[in-house]
Amino acid sequence: MGAAFFYHLTDTPLERTLPMLLGKCRDAGWRVAVRGRDADLLERLDATLWNDGFLPHGVAGGAQDTEQPVLLGVDVPADGFACVMSVGGADVTAAEVGLTERVCILFDGHDEGALNQARGQWKSLTEQGCAAQYWAQEDGLWTKKAESSGA
C-alpha cells in the first residue's frame, strides 16, 4: 500500500511546487496523474509545465492519454499511475492510496477552506488505514511535521 503525502504550501505557490514534485516523480520513473476539480486551474498548470522548464505531459481526453508520463485532468483515475497528485481540493480515496506508490495532496496554506479540506482528508485517510506524512515549508525548506502509520 502506498502513502499519502500532504504538502502545506505557504512560501512557494503551486505553480512552482508542482513541477518540482513532478520532476522527482519522473526521476523515480513514476507515471503521474495530476487531479484537480477546476478546469481553469488545470489549464494554468498545463501552460506552466510547457513554458517553465518543459515537463512532458498531456491533458486528459486526448488520444494519447495512456502514453502520457504526466496526465492532468478532472477525475483522472488512479489506476495505471504510480502517483496521484491532488490539487485544488480534488478528492483522493483510501483505495486510490492503495493502488499507488504515493498520493500527494497539495494545498494552499493561506486558504482556510483548503486547510480544512486537507485536515478532513488526513483524518479520513488515516482512519481508513493509510500511512500519511504532513510536510510544511519553513524558511524555504520542506520539513516533515507529522507522520501516521495509518494503523
Question: Under DSSP, is residue 46 helix (H, G, I), strand (E, B) or coil?
Answer: helix
Going residue by residue through the chain, which has 151 residues, state the pLDDT in tens, using 9 for 90 and above. 699 999 999 999 999 999 999 999 999 999 999 999 999 999 999 999 988 777 889 889 888 889 999 999 998 989 899 999 999 999 999 999 999 999 999 999 999 999 999 999 999 999 999 999 999 998 889 999 999 997 6
Q: Which three cell numbers stand for residue 151?
A: 494503523
**Model confidence pTM above 0.75:** yes
pLDDT for 34:
97
Beta strands across the sheet bearing 131-138: 58-59, 70-74, 32-36, 83-86, 102-108, 3-9, 131-138, 141-148
Domains of the chain: 3-148 (3.40.50.10110)
Burial class of residue 12 (count of CB atoms within 10 Å of its CB; 0-12, 13-18, 19+):
middle
Contact indicator for 33, 78 with CB cutoff of 8 Å: yes
pLDDT of residue 58: 86
